[in-house]
C-alpha cells in the first residue's frame, strides 16, 4: 500500500475472516475501535508504527500472530484505515506449501492432475483440458479472439439503457411501530394492504405493488382520476374544481361543479388515461379562454373566482418563470427526456454539503437552456432561482405551492446570469428583426406579452433606451462586460454594435422583469 | 394552483401594501418619493402587536455550535467521570436509552479530557479551554440540563430550530419575524451565517434549517455568505452600474404601476415594493459585509480582520446585523462532531470560537445592545460520557449551553446532570422550554403565537414548553 504523503491515515489495519473477523493487525495510532482495544491480543494486535508515507510499502502479517493455527481457512480479508488517503494495492500470500506454488490452480484442478490420466473421471479430464486450453501457445489466437468478442459483447450491453429492477427476496416482517419508534418490536405484524376505510385488495396471498397499482386505477375507483383531473384544472385555472387539491376526504372542500368534475374524470379514464388529450380539451374550452381582466359586474356574483366566471391571474410557477424567459428569448431547448442538467448556479452554493463535498458542475451548450423541469434537484440545497419562486425541495410531497412575492425573486430576475443572457439573446433578436426602435419595441411586446405597447409604455422604454445608448456608447468596455456574461457567445462586434446591443439588453431586461411577464393572465 | 398568498399584504418590513391608490398614474421620479421612507427605526410590525407581555429582548443571536459540542469538555465538570475512567459505564444509566454509533459496543467511562476552572465573581465552572467565555462568566447563564429527543444531526437541528424532529415546520427565527416583524428596512429579518472548523469532520447543514416551514416564505432565513456574492444574486451584472440598475428597476416599476391601475392585482404593488427592497439590499448587504470601517481595537477584540468566513468574522457581522435591526441572527459553526480525538479536536475548536463568542457579548454590552439582545451559545446535542475510541458519541439526555443578555440573569447556572454527566437530573430543560423562554423574552406568550396549518393551530412549542422564570433577571 501507499500512504499519502500529505494526508496519511492515522491507523491502517488488516482484518482476516475465519468464522468471524477477530484476527486483526494494525499499524500506527490505536484509533480503529474493532476488537478488544488495549489487549494486544490476536484480535487487535499492534504491529508497530505507521509505515513510511509517500512510497509503496508492504504490510506483512504472520498468521500465527493474529490467532491462526496451521490448517485454518481464511475466507475473507478487510482493509481498514482511519482517516487520510491511501492506495491499497495487491494482496497475496507468501508460502512454502508446494501445492500453492503452481499459481492459479484451484484445488479441483490440482487434484485432477494428481490422478493418472487413464484414471481420471470425465469431469477431471475436462478440468485438465480446460486448464490446457488456457495456457497452450497454439491456442493463443483463439483466446485473443474470445477476449475480443467478450469485450465487444460487454460494450454492446453497456449501450443498453438500464432499468432498475429490484428482485425481491423473502418479504421482511413489517410491524406497526408504536409511536413511530423504530427500535420497538412489540407491534403487531402486518401485511401489505390499502387503508381499511377505502376498501380491501382482492387478492390471493400476499398483495404486491402491482395489485396496488391496479386498485388505484380500477374502474370502480373514482378517486384517482378525479384527483388528477382536478389538479390539471387547477393548473390552468388557478384553483381546482375542488379547492382542497390534496384532500378529497371529509375535511376537504366540496367541488364547485361536481358534475363537470365527474364528466371530465370519466372521459379521462375512458380515453385510456390520455393526458395529452385531456390537456388539449381543457385549454380549448371557452372557460379557459376567458379574459382575466377584472369585471365590475362579477364583483358581486363571483368575487373569489370560485365559479370560473373569468380566468385567474397568478404568477407562474418556478420552472415556468425560467421557461418563459428562455422561450421568449429564443434560447429554450425543447428536447424531451434524458438526464437532468445544471444551469448556472452561484459559486459554492453547495459548500454546506458533505459526504461527499461536492461542487455544482455547470452544464454546457444547449443543455444550459433546457426547461426548468430538467434542473438537477438537490433537496438539501435546491437551485436558488427555483427556490426563490417557491419550487418545493421535494423532501416532502407538496401538493400546492406557495405564491410568494419576495425581494429574492427580484434579485433573481435582475441578476441571475440565466436571465441576463436571456435578455441579451432577446435583444439580439429584436435588433435583427425590427427596422427602427418603435418596430422593435412593438415586436418585443408582441413576443413577450402578446399585445401592443401603449404610448405611455413605449415612451418609458424609449427614454431608457436612449439614456443607456448614450451611456454604453461612452463606455464600450462596460457594454462588452455586460454582453460577456454567461456561456452564450456574442458574435464579434465593433464597439458601436456592442453598445447598441447592451442598450437594447437593458430594455429587454425590463420586459423580462415585468409583473405581466411573470403572470399568467 | 391556489396557494397561500401573502396573507396580510405585508412585506418583510410589515408595510401594508393594500394601499395601492398612491401608485396610480405616477411617473418614475415621483414613485420613489411616494414609497414610505424608513428614516427612523420603528418597530417593524408582526402579528404580535402590541406584545403579549413586556419584552426584554428585541433580537436574538443564536451561536449554533453544529455537530454537538461535548458538555464534558465545555461547561459541565464531572470529576466522578474522571475517577471512573476506563470502567464499565453502569447499566443503570444507559439501559433502555437511545444510543447512536456506540450501539453494540461495550460502554466505558471516558474522563473529561481537559481541566475546568472557576471564573468570575460568580465562580462559574467552565473548561479552561474557554478563557474568553470565562472572562464573561458573570454575564452568562449556563444551562447544564438541556435535553432533546433527536440523536442525529439533521433531526436534532430540526428540533432545535423548530421544536420538533418532524420536518416542514418553521424555525424559531421565522417565528420571531412572523411575530414581531423586522426592524430593518433594507435587510431581511432573519439572517444566517455559516463557518467550518478544522477539528474533525464537518457535518452538513441543509438549507431547510432556516426555511419558513408553513409560514409565508418571506419569513425564511437568508444565508449571508463570505463570497463575492454575499447574498445570492445581490450583485448587478457586469457592466451594469448602480445607476443603470436603478434605471431598469424604475422602468419596471413604472410599467408595473400602469398595469396595476388597469388590473387591480394586489400582487403588483407588492412586487414593486420587493424591487425597491432588492435594490436597497444591493447596497445594504455589501455595506454590512465590508467591515473595513471597524476600528482596529475591534479587530483585536474579536481576533479577526473579518471577510474570511471564519466564525470570528461571523461574530463581528452578527454585531453589525444586530445594530442594523435584524431580528434573528443565526450562526452555524460546523465543527463539533468529535467522534474521535475529542482532546485534540476540542483544543482546535475551542480556539476557533472562544475569543469571538466572548467578544460579541462584550461588544454588544458596550454598545448598549446586550440588554435587549438574547445571545445563545450551544449545539444541537451533547456528547456521551462513554468513550468512542478517543472521542465521544452523540448524546441527548443531558447537555449544556449558555445564554447572555436579553433579560437573562448573568453569573448563574441552571440545572444539573448526574455525577457522570449522562442525564439531566435537576431542572431538566427541553428544547421546547428553551423556545418558550426565548419567545417570552421577546414579549410573546408561546401559547398565543400560532399559525393555522393542516387543520389546527401550530406554535413553536407545539404542545409543550415552560418558561424558565428562574433564570430571568
In this predicted structure, which of A31-35, A276-280, B369-373 has the lowest mean pLDDT? A31-35
What local confidence, expressed as pLDDT, does residue B416 receive? 98
Question: B30 vs A149, A185, A490, B34, B262, CA distance in Å?
Answer: 79, 70, 37, 6, 19
Q: Torsion angle of alpha carbons A405, A409, A414, A420, nearest 10°? A: -130
Out of A21-30, B138-147, B195-204, B259-268, give the one with best mean pLDDT.
B138-147
Beta carbons of B227 and A417 less than 8 Å apart: no
Which A residues, 259 through 298, put their C-beta within 8 Å of a C-beta on chain B?
293-294
The β-bridge relationship of strands A519-520 and B328-334 is unpaired
List, in order, residues 6 or more apart from A315 with CB less than 8 Å away: A321, A389, A403, A405, A518, A519, A520, B267
B-contacting residues in A 317-336 (Cβ below 8 Å): 317
Residue A102 has pLDDT above 90, yes or no: no
The answer, for B231 touching chain A at a CB cutoff of 8 Å, is: yes
Task: Find the length of chain B.
Answer: 473
CB B177 within 8 A of CB B189: yes
Mean pLDDT on A56-74: 89
pLDDT tens for A451-473 read 999 999 999 999 999 999 999 99
Q: Nearest chain A Cα to B169, which residue?
A: A396
Is 50 exceeded by the pLDDT of residue B41?
Answer: no
CB contact burial A116-151 (16+ within 10 A = b; e otherwise): eeeebeeebeebeeebeeeeeeeeeeeeeeeeeeee
Residue B200 predicted with pLDDT over 70:
yes
Q: Which residues of A, range 468-507, sit inside 8 Å of B by Cβ? A: 468, 471, 477-485, 502, 506
Q: Does the structure show a pLDDT above 50 at A70?
A: yes
Q: With left for phi above 0 and alpha for psi between -120 and 50, is residue B112 left, alpha or beta?
A: beta
Collapsed DSSP state (helix, strand, coil) of residue B43: coil
Please say if the pLDDT value at position A99 is more than 70: no
Q: Could you tell me which chain A residue has the CA closest to the CA of B267?
A: A405
Q: Report chain B's mean pLDDT, rounded to a whole number.
A: 90
Distance CA B399, CA A431 (A): 66
Which of B389, B108, B386, B342 is closest to A35 using CA atoms? B389
Buried/exposed code over A35-52 (b: 16+ C-beta within 10 A; e: otherwise): bebeeeebbbbebeebbe
The pLDDT value recorded for residue B36 is 40
Nearest CA in chain B to A230: B1
pLDDT (tens digit, 9 = 90+) per residue, B52-61? Answer: 999 999 999 9
CB contact under 8 A, A234 and B229: no
pLDDT band at A103 (very low <50, low <70, confident <90, very high): low
Model pLDDT for residues A28-56, shown as the tens digit of each residue = 998 888 888 888 889 899 999 999 999 99
Chain A residues with CB-CB distance to B99 below 8 A: none
> For A196-229, b where at least 16 C-beta lie within 10 A, e where not — what string?
eeeeeeeeeeebeeebeeebeeeeebeebbbbbb
- Set of chain A residues whose Cβ sits within 8 Å of the Cβ of B216: 402, 404
Average pLDDT of the residues in B344-348:
97
The count of CB pairs under 8 A between chains A and B is 213
Which residues on adjacent β-strands are paired with residue B192? B223, B330
State how far the Cα of A130 lies from the Cα of A127, in Å rounded to an integer.
5
Contacts of A314 in chain B (CB under 8 A): 1
Tell me, yes or no, if B246 comes closer than 8 A to chain A by beta carbon: no
Is a pLDDT exceeding 80 seen at residue B145? yes
Contact of B206 with chain A, judged by CB distance below 8 Å, is answered with: yes
Q: Above 90 in pLDDT, residue B5? A: no
Q: Is the pLDDT assigned to residue A104 strictly greater than 90?
A: no
DSSP secondary structure letter of residue A168: P
| B235 has a pLDDT exceeding 80 | yes
Q: Taking the CB of residue A9, how many other CB atoms lie within 10 A of it?
A: 23
Instruction: Please indicate whether, in this complex, the C-beta atoms of B236 and A349 are within 8 angstroms of each other.
Output: no
Q: Show which of residues 16-35 on chain A sit within 8 Å of chain B, judged by CB atoms.
A: 31-33
pLDDT mean over A12-27:
91
Over range A60-77, report the average pLDDT.
88
Q: Cα(A15)–Cα(B31) distance, rounded to whole angstroms? A: 75
Are the Cβ atoms of A414 and B249 closer than 8 angstroms?
yes
Q: For residue B248, give the nearest of A314, A480, A506 by CB distance.
A: A506
Chain A residue with minimal CA distance to B98? A183
Question: Of A313, A353, A401, which has the smallest distance from its Cβ to B204's Cβ?
Answer: A353
**For A238-264, what is each residue's pLDDT tens digit?**
999 999 999 998 889 999 999 999 999
| C-alpha–C-alpha distance, residues A328 and A325, integer Å | 5
The pLDDT of residue A399 is 87
B412-414 and B140-147 strand pairing:
parallel
pLDDT of residue A204: 87
Express each pLDDT in B70-116 by its tens digit.
999 999 999 999 999 999 999 999 998 999 999 889 999 999 999 99
User: Please, what's the b/e burial string for B407-428 (b: 16 or more CB within 10 A of its CB; e: otherwise)?
Assistant: bbebbbbbbbbbebbbbbeebb
Question: Percent of chain A beyond pLDDT 90?
Answer: 63
Residue B32's pLDDT is what? 39
Across chain A, what does the average pLDDT equal? 90
Q: Which is more confident, B122 or A73?
A: B122
Q: Is the pLDDT of residue B17 over 70?
A: no
pLDDT band at A276 (very low <50, low <70, confident <90, very high): very high
Q: Quick check: A462 contacting B, CB < 8 Å?
A: no
Of the partner residues B204, B247, B275, the one whose CB lies closest to the CB of residue A464: B247
Question: Cα–Cα distance between B17 and B39 in angstroms, integer?
Answer: 18
The predicted structure's pLDDT at residue B37: 38
Domain residues of chain B, as ranges? 15-45+234-291, 49-227+307-471
Specify which residues A14 forms β-bridges with.
Answer: A25, A79
> What confidence score (pLDDT) does residue A244 get?
92
What is the pTM assigned to this prediction?
0.77
The predicted-structure confidence for B302-333, as pLDDT tens digits, reads as follows 999 999 999 999 999 999 999 999 999 999 99
As a CATH number, domain B49-227+307-471 is 3.40.720.10
B338 pLDDT band (50/70/90 cuts)? very high
Task: Establish if B266 touches chain A: CB-CB under 8 angstroms.
Answer: no
Classify residue B472 by its DSSP letter: B
Query: What is the predicted pLDDT for the residue at B40?
Result: 31
Q: What pLDDT is stored for residue A180 in this prediction?
A: 82
Share of chain B above pLDDT 90, in %: 83
Residues 359-418 on B with a CB inside 8 Å of A are 388-390
Between B12 and A445, residue with greater pLDDT: A445
Contact: B271, A239; criterion CB under 8 Å:
no
Q: How confident is the model at residue B44 (pLDDT cuts 50, 70, 90)?
A: low
Amino acid at each position: 500500500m501507499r500512504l499519502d504523503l500529505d494526508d496519511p491515515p492515522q491507523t491502517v489495519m488488516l482484518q482476516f475472516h475465519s468464522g468471524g473477523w477477530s484476527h486483526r493487525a494494525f499499524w500506527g495510532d490505536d484509533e480503529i475501535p474493532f476488537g478488544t482495544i488495549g489487549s494486544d491480543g490476536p484480535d487487535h494486535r499492534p504491529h508497530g508504527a505507521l509505515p513510511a508515507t509517500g512510497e509503496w510499502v508492504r504490510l506483512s502479517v504472520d498468521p500465527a500472530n493474529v490467532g491462526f493455527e496451521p490448517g485454518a481457512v481464511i475466507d475473507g480479508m478487510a482493509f481498514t484505515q482511519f482517516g487520510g488517503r491511501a492506495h491499497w494495492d495487491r494482496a497475496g500470500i507468501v508460502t512454502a506449501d508446494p501445492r500453492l506454488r503452481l499459481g492459479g490452480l484451484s484445488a479441483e484442478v490440482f487434484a485432477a492432475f494428481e490422478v493418472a490420466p487413464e484414471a481420471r473421471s470425465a469431469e477431471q479430464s475436462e478440468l485438465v483440458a480446460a486448464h490446457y486450453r488456457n495456457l497452450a501457445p497454439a491456442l493463443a489466437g483463439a483466446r485473443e479472439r474470445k477476449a475480443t468478442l467478450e469485450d465487444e459483447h460487454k460494450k454492446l450491453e453497456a449501450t443498453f439503457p438500464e432499468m432498475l429492477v429490484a428482485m425481491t427476496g423473502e418479504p421482511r416482517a413489517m410491524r406497526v411501530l408504536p409511536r413511530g419508534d423504530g427500535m420497538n418490536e412489540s407491534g403487531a405484524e402486518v401485511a401489505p394492504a390499502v387503508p381499511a376505510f377505502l376498501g380491501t385488495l382482492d387478492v390471493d396471498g400476499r398483495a404486491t405493488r402491482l395489485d396496488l397499482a391496479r386498485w388505484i386505477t380500477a374502474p370502480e375507483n373514482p378517486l384517482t382520476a378525479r384527483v388528477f383531473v382536478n389538479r390539471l384544472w387547477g393548473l390552468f385555472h388557478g384553483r381546482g374544481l375542488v379547492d382542497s387539491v390534496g384532500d378529497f376526504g371529509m375535511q376537504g372542500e366540496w367541488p364547485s361543479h361536481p358534475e363537470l368534475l365527474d364528466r371530465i374524470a370519466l372521459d379521462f379514464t375512458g380515453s385510456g388515461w390520455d393526458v395529452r388529450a385531456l390537456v388539449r380539451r381543457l385549454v380549448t374550452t371557452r372557460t379557459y379562454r376567458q379574459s382575466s381582466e377584472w369585471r365590475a359586474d362579477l364583483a358581486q356574483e363571483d368575487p373569489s373566482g370560485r365559479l370560473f366566471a373569468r380566468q385567474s391571474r397568478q404568477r407562474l410557477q418556478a420552472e415556468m418563470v425560467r421557461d418563459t424567459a428562455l422561450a421568449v428569448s429564443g434560447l429554450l431547448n425543447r428536447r424531451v427526456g434524458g438526464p437532468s442538467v445544471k444551469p448556472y448556479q452561484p459559486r459554492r452554493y453547495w459548500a454546506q454539503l458533505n459526504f461527499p463535498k461536492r461542487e455544482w458542475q455547470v452544464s454546457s451548450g444547449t443543455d444550459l437552456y433546457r426547461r426548468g423541469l430538467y434542473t438537477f434537484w438537490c433537496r438539501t440545497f435546491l437551485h436558488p432561482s427555483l427556490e426563490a419562486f417557491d419550487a418545493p425541495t421535494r423532501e416532502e410531497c407538496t401538493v400546492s405551492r406557495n405564491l410568494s412575492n419576495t425581494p429574492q425573486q427580484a434579485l433573481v430576475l435582475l441578476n441571475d446570469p440565466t436571465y441576463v443572457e436571456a435578455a441579451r439573446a432577446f435583444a439580439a433578436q429584436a435588433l435583427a428583426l425590427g427596422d427602427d426602435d418603435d418596430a422593435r419595441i412593438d415586436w418585443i411586446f408582441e413576443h413577450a406579452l402578446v399585445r401592443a405597447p401603449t404610448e405611455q409604455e413605449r415612451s418609458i422604454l424609449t427614454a431608457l433606451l436612449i439614456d443607456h445608448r448614450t451611456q454604453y456608447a461612452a463606455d464600450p468596455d462596460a457594454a462588452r462586460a455586460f454582453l460577456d456574461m454567461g456561456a452564450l457567445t456574442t458574435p464579434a462586434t465593433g464597439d458601436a454594435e456592442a453598445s447598441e446591443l447592451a442598450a437594447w439588453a437593458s430594455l429587454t431586461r425590463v420586459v423580462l422583469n415585468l409583473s405581466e411577464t411573470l403572470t399568467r393572465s | 394552483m391556489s396557494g397561500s398568498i401573502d396573507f396580510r399584504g405585508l412585506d418583510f418590513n410589515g408595510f401594508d401594501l393594500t394601499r395601492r391608490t398612491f401608485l396610480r398614474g405616477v411617473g418614475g421620479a415621483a414613485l420613489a418619493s411616494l414609497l414610505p421612507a424608513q428614516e427612523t427605526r420603528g418597530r417593524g410590525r408582526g402579528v404580535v402587536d402590541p406584545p403579549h407581555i413586556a419584552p426584554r429582548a428585541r433580537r436574538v443571536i443564536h451561536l449554533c455550535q453544529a455537530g454537538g459540542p461535548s458538555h464534558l469538555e465545555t461547561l459541565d465538570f464531572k470529576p466522578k467521570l474522571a475517577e471512573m475512567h476506563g470502567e464499565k459505564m453502569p447499566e443503570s444509566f444507559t439501559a433502555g436509552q437511545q444510543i447512536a454509533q456506540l450501539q453494540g459496543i461495550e460502554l466505558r467511562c471516558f474522563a473529561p479530557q481537559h481541566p475546568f476552572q472557576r471564573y468570575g465573581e460568580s465562580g462559574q465552572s467552565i473548561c479552561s479551554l474557554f478563557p474568553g467565555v470565562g472572562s464573561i462568566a458573570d454575564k452568562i447563564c449556563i444551562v447544564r440540563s438541556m435535553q432533546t429527543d433527536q440523536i442525529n444531526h439533521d433531526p436534532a437541528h430540526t428540533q432545535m430550530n423548530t421544536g420538533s424532529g418532524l420536518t416542514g415546520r418553521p424555525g424559531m427565527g421565522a417565528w420571531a419575524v412572523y411575530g414581531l416583524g423586522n426592524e430593518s428596512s433594507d435587510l431581511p429579518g432573519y439572517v444566517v451565517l455559516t463557518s467550518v472548523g478544522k477539528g474533525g469532520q464537518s457535518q452538513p447543514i441543509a438549507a431547510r434549517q432556516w426555511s419558513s416551514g408553513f409560514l409565508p416564505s418571506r419569513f425564511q432565513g437568508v444565508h449571508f455568505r463570505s463570497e463575492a456574492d454575499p447574498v445570492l444574486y445581490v450583485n448587478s451584472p457586469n457592466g451594469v452600474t448602480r445607476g443603470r440598475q436603478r434605471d431598469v428597476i424604475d422602468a419596471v416599476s413604472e410599467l408595473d404601476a400602469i398595469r396595476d391601475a388597469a388590473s387591480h392585482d394586489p400582487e403588483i404593488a407588492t412586487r414593486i415594493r420587493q424591487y425597491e427592497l432588492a435594490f436597497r439590499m444591493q447596497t445594504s448587504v455589501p455595506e454590512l459585509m465590508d467591515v473595513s470601517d471597524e476600528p482596529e481595537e475591534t479587530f483585536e477584540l474579536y481576533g479577526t480582520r473579518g471577510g474570511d468566513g471564519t466564525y470570528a468574522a461571523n461574530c463581528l457581522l452578527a454585531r453589525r446585523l444586530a445594530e442594523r435591526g435584524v431580528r434573528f441572527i443565526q450562526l452555524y459553526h460546523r465543527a463539533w462532531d468529535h467522534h474521535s480525538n475529542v482532546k485534540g479536536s476540542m483544543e482546535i475548536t475551542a480556539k476557533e470560537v472562544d475569543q469571538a463568542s466572548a467578544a460579541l457579548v462584550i461588544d454588544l454590552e458596550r454598545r448598549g445592545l446586550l440588554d435587549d439582545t438574547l445571545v445563545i451559545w450551544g449545539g444541537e446535542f451533547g456528547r456521551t460520557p462513554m468513550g468512542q475510541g478517543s472521542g465521544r458519541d452523540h448524546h441527548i439526555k443531558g447537555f449544556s449551553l449558555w445564554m447572555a443578555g436579553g433579560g437573562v440573569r448573568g453569573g448563574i447556572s441552571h440545572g444539573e446532570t448526574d455525577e457522570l454527566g449522562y442525564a439531566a437530573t435537576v431542572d431538566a430543560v427541553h428544547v421546547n422550554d428553551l423556545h418558550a423562554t426565548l419567545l417570552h423574552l421577546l414579549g410573546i406568550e408561546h401559547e398565543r403565537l400560532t399559525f393555522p396549518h393542516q387543520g389546527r393551530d401550530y406554535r413553536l412549542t407545539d404542545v409543550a414548553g415552560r418558561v424558565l422564570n428562574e433564570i430571568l433577571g
